[in-house]
Structure 1
């Protein structure tokens, strides 16, 4: 960056005053609303299949964006990895291109007030504290290489007490078991552990660390995370929002040998540092939320009883339970919804996770060649009037909440000579809807309240057929916003709250409310129950496919 460009570096004060070169003529004043319209917030959205950078205005509308898909690696059956350096480079490339579009529209870079980050949560990254280089590929959240490892852990004394402390059951899902696997199997990780130079983090920690300059930073590297991401490790006490000595001891984590990221609020003007290079140099990173919490924030689900479901690669349903965690008795996860600091209490959620949603559509496209683009799934599904008796249990990585069946495999039932591609397409969409209903039923039991409406977002919500099917199967109305970039918006909201773009949650009540479409149930309860009973039968029959032979 030249000296001139550096002198025009974006203004990052916490005040609402525009930088000097852009102040209004003397005597001309903007209202608070007009002033906020002049501020913008950037949002890094780092997902399972792509990275994106979006820029939102003070009304919560996206004005520029760029997206890059990257390679997903599957070195062995059940293994799922990313190259951490490719994640970083894809983020940087998205920032550069989105900012180019932003400036082309006539906007000044100094109007970017701050940047938020939202990320895939349990995906685990390990790197060396001295070099800042990754020691292995990132192990992605649906990876199932730890299946046997988890079974062994479940047999250890105290395993049944963990969920009361951290909110999560033992499964292949959390980042804790991924870290233990890396420590046991990867020589470079073992070596760094013995030397005391091993850094552990989820994708948010990795990106924040590198965007701040890594080990070249004066502090030696900003190594932080927020409660929404830390609550997915099984190392954090859900009640204190700090690492728990009992949990660390149970997993055998020695913090003198492993550097864990410091847990800070999800919204902070200082804790996440600033971008040190590129077009955003000097801009504060002021927000951090795991992707599903970020989507709840982007849907403005700030009141207890509100819920959202994100239909992405997987499917994730969060239900706001207020300022006290609810430990599920029905197979759900207890997690941090958001922690905005500033004297506000952290807010918790019940969560149900489905491993395969959009990934099922991609399977039909990439593996079976049913369609040449995911957007054509609705046309294929509508080529037949119903599923023709086909039920598809899409347990490619086992089944998550509320079942937690780790020995299931993807299984098609009801195939006859009558079966066509359209029937399987419908059954693929229905699989996500059935699993969502199972989670909703569990949430009703845990919370004692039945939801009246479900806010939705994510790629699969583009299908009216899928959303109507969801309403029919679940028996509640489905509420879809016109602007569906809710995950990225949530991170922008967290950053904007920390830097004066918005002052309080009340300022956000009208964000993303225009143009919403509501899908109301059309099926009778008896028919809905009959369909769900058939689905439940298929789930039971899918068990046991990865058990070792005893012969």
Structure 2
């Protein structure tokens, strides 16, 4: 058996892909699941529904693709699940990475001066985005949860941990270093859960999973027939970094899914950002972490979903580019998609979305154009901050994710960055990364150098916008953001 099953458990859907011995997708299945918004700024998923989509898509892909040698898992990061160790039942809905309910707690901890210690140990900032304060909220607000946690009856995990627990019939409570690095509870310098941070958030350390390398023995499952080993796990953005073969310091990838996440490989160096970027683990093999700088945009592809489901001005995502292309070029609209706050480099959980520059002539085309352009503007925010923290030529920006299928969006991205943008032949590099990690561990796929040599370019987008226009457009964006920030005055 020379095939690998990759499970890509994302924010809005679950996919399972069977990759052949040459890391080519052979069969796949995908299923969306319900997004729950119980209050303003709150976002939840039903973990049992996620589990059902994993089972359905895995069986669908395996029915088409045949037998596999091992499983790799990649997942939406920071999303929190707490379940009963004895029954496996969840105690509350999964609190999603986009959720902002712990903004007040983060603000209080910042006011107490806790953020420098947090950043030094974890590479992260105090923001509701990360798992730790979400876990604290569940323990504090679900009846009986704290007592059960302290008595050793509950388990916490990000989505990967929850899936592995269920897949192994409760035999393994584990995660990988990249997911652990996003919890706000893991010391990425020392490589372990941090007792001081856990005490600060009143989190019993017995609730936490064991942390393994990305390529490791995570257990085995018999849910799909003969026992199958789970040999690879990485958070979605780290899996995309691997899938883009960004193995050398200075290489940069930017993934466009629900949000946008740019990771810059910094090698053995954990950079303490002076510009509100995050330090994180890009991947970890043989007990050795490779670090990265990361910038996180909460709303990228989700702004296109909003055009479809909220405004109902498009029927499907590809229509957005056609609308944008038909927009009135004399209008200059800016859409700041702070639907769940603003991420890097602003980190303003209280900001909310706004559109600037509307006239009587503004319509669906102009709004669609502003929506797509917001992704490029936000990416430039990230890359400018990264360049200040880690000077040097990063080369071409490697992009992936669903939005990169839009030539219009990628051309604007290149224009506003003033830099070449490389789109690979395989856009879904997140699943490729998970498959390679598991397949390499299983002895099926080549080492890093061999894998990097197989990376294949589809299109390079070169900037066509003149520098004066680029700077003027970006200045307008910065003004729009300044007006949107919750403390703009």
Q: Would you say same fold, with TM above 0.5?
A: yes
Q: Indicate if the aligned counterparts of 1:377 and 1:425 stay in contact, CA closer than 8 A.
A: yes
Q: Give the whole-Å Cα distance in 2 for the aligned partners of 1:115 and 1:194.
A: 33
TM-score when scaled to structure 2?
A: 0.97
Report the equivalent of 1:213.
Answer: 169
Partner of 1:327: 272
Residue of structure 2 equivalent to 1:261 = 209
Matches within 5 A, 1:374-385: 374-385=317-328
| Structure number with bigger Rg | 1
Q: Secondary structure at the match of 1:328?
A: coil
Residues 218-256 of structure 1: per-residue CA shift (max 9 Å, x gap)? xxx30011110000011111112211222222222222x
1:200 corresponds, among 156, 159, 164, to 156
The 5-angstrom pairing of residues 399-414 of structure 1 reads: 399-414=342-357
CA distance in 2 between counterparts of 1:83 and 1:234 reads: 23
Match of 2:30 among 39, 45, 67: 67
SS of equivalent residue, structure 2 residue 248 = coil
Aligned pair count?
489
Matched, 1:528 2:466: no
What's the CA shift for 1:509?
2.1
Q: Distance in 2 between matches of 1:381 and 1:527?
A: 18
User: SS of the counterpart of 1:115?
Assistant: strand
- Measure the CA separation in 2 of the matches of 1:188 and 1:512: 50
**Alpha-carbon distance between aligned partners in 2 of 1:546 and 1:329, rounded to the nearest angstrom:** 21
Q: Distance in 1 between matches of 2:15 and 2:415?
A: 33
How many angstroms apart in 2 are the aligned matches of 1:244 and 1:58?
Answer: 40
Aligned position for 1:479: 422
Per the alignment, residue 179 of structure 2 pairs with 229
Report the counterpart of residue 501 of structure 1 in structure 2.
Answer: 444
Alignment partner of 2:26: what SS?
strand
Query: Structure 2 regions of 5+ residues with no counterpart?
Result: none
Corresponding residue for 1:276?
A: 222
2:305 to 358, 362, 365: 362
**Displaced runs of 4 or more, over 3 A:** none
Instruction: Report the Cα offset of residue 524 of structure 1.
Output: 1.8
Residue-by-residue CA offset, 1:5-37 (whole Å, 9 max, x unaligned): xxxxxxxxxxxxx6xxxxxxxxxxxxxxxxxxx
Equivalent residue for 2:59?
96
| TM-aligned CA deviation for residue 503 of structure 1 | 4.5
| Contact 1:60–1:489 (CA under 8 A) maintained in structure 2 | yes
CA separation of 1:190 and 1:376: change in aligned 2, threshold 3 A: same
Residue from 294, 298, 316 that aligns with 1:351: 294
Cα offset, 1:334, TM superposition: 0.6
Supply the distance in 2 between the matched residues of 1:419 and 1:94 (Cα, whole angstroms). Answer: 42
TM-score, normalisation: structure 1 = 0.86
3-state DSSP of counterpart to 1:339? strand
Contact 1:407 1:546 (C-alpha < 8 Å) held by counterparts: no
Q: CA deviation at 1:387?
A: 7.2
In structure 1, runs of 5+ residues without a counterpart are 1-17, 19-38, 104-108, 215-220
Q: Distance in 2 between matches of 1:416 and 1:386?
A: 13
Q: In the aligned structure 2, how far is the partner of 1:154 from the partner of 1:487?
A: 33
Matches of 1:223 and 1:276, distance apart in 2: 17
